[in-house]
Structure 1
Amino acid sequence: MDKQVLEGKVVLVAAGAKNLGSLISRRMGERGAKVVVHYHSDATRADAEDTVAAVQSAGSEAFMMQGDLTQPANVAALFEEAKSRFGGIDIAVNTVGKVLRKPIIDTGEDEYDVMFDINAKAAYFFIKEAGKHLNDNGKIITIVTSLLAAFTDGYSTYAGGKAPVEDFTRAAAKEFASRGISVTAIGPGPMDTPFFYGQETPERVAYHKSQSLNGELTKVEDIEPIVRFLATDGWWITGQTIFANGGYTTR
């Protein structure tokens, strides 16, 4: 069904160069969508080039754009350029995030500021610009974390930085409803990406795996179809945070 629905649509993916963002970009492109691949820094430029090339090889249009989305002016510029290039935007997906596992008493102000800038501030202004620029009946999807439903240590600035996105999502869903725009968040479980392993010990990795229904971490392949569903047939879901984690945690 999504092949027909996505044909000719314009999809903007923040942090779309690698991991989950890249898979979303590629799958959208394979289904006929035009894709804007955002990437943060020169370190991910090659990944962004590979993702754009994959979308183009699938027969769809794509371009990439760099920017630090903790700066609202850069978020605005990203949306304006996407709209200028493709004439409009239908779907905006924000996969931007930074993970830090550190005790509260050891966390400095600079670390707090960085974590909240990336996980909360960037998300807020992404939703704002999406609300300004998306076509009517558009879709806004933000990746958060299943830690929002967990009772654990060490992730105060990560889960804490993602927590406001639930309120941003609810408010935006109400404010944009008259234009038919749905706004949702997805909370994956611990994901099998380099971001996760850098924060955990082997013992804790084993514990996290043991909490899912198949004894594995969440994979990007588990989350991408949910993003695509919310962007197509699942448009009626709005204002919600969906915990997609194989039974890792729930509310």
Structure 2
Amino acid sequence: MESVALAAPGGDLSIWALFWQAGWVVKLVMIGLLGASIWTWAIIVDKTLAYARMRRALNRFEQVFWSGQSLEELYRSLSERKTTGMGAIFVAAMREWKKSFEKGARSPLGLQTRIDKAMDLALAREMERLEGKLGFLASVGSSAPFIGLFGTVVGIMTSFQAIAGSKSTNLAVVAPGIAEALLATAMGLLAAIPAVIAYNKLTADAGRLGARMEGFADEFSAILSRQIDEKVAPRTRAEEYA
């Protein structure tokens, strides 16, 4: 077990001083928790901005889609650039639609299944992108308090060993050692609390965005299903009676 000299009575109890007085194990715990806290806030800011951009993109796409513009024109304008959200789902469905007709689609059910599968894959990719890095927040929220507690236990054990060595139980002598040990717990909570709150909030936001995209996919699937009935089904029946 590492040995730490007890601070003199009335020593500096600032956070910076407590960090430098701590043993190397407690220092590593504090540094790790500080890094996790910084990365947590970076993810929170990044996801908050990304979700705001996604909401604006969904609103813009819905406005254009339901404006009466033809599907072909909208597909040509979107296929020329990188799309996200509903745009990516729309492009995936239209690409499968055009490929199927270029190859002479004959089965309405098969065409509908392929289009639905293309939209499902596009939706899954969008959700994976939205939910990326949220797992780190969950990990920090669940593990940071225990990591901080580990640092606290190590620090207090070291303080009690030093007490036994000095044969002094003066509170003014042992207070700095105990304070630096408890600082590890405080840093663990400082990292965990924002991570838990942000994880719950961002997960709910991602779920709402996903529900909007899934709803659009269902509506667009119904639109294409009607067009398939109009184009493919009559031709199929005519071929059967030919």
Q: Flag whether TM exceeds 0.5 (same fold).
A: no
Which structure would you say has the larger Rg?
Answer: 2
> With CA pairs under 8 Å and 6+ residues apart, which has the higher RCO, 1 or 2?
2
The structure whose residues are more often strand, as a share, is 1
The structure whose residues are more often helix, as a share, is 2
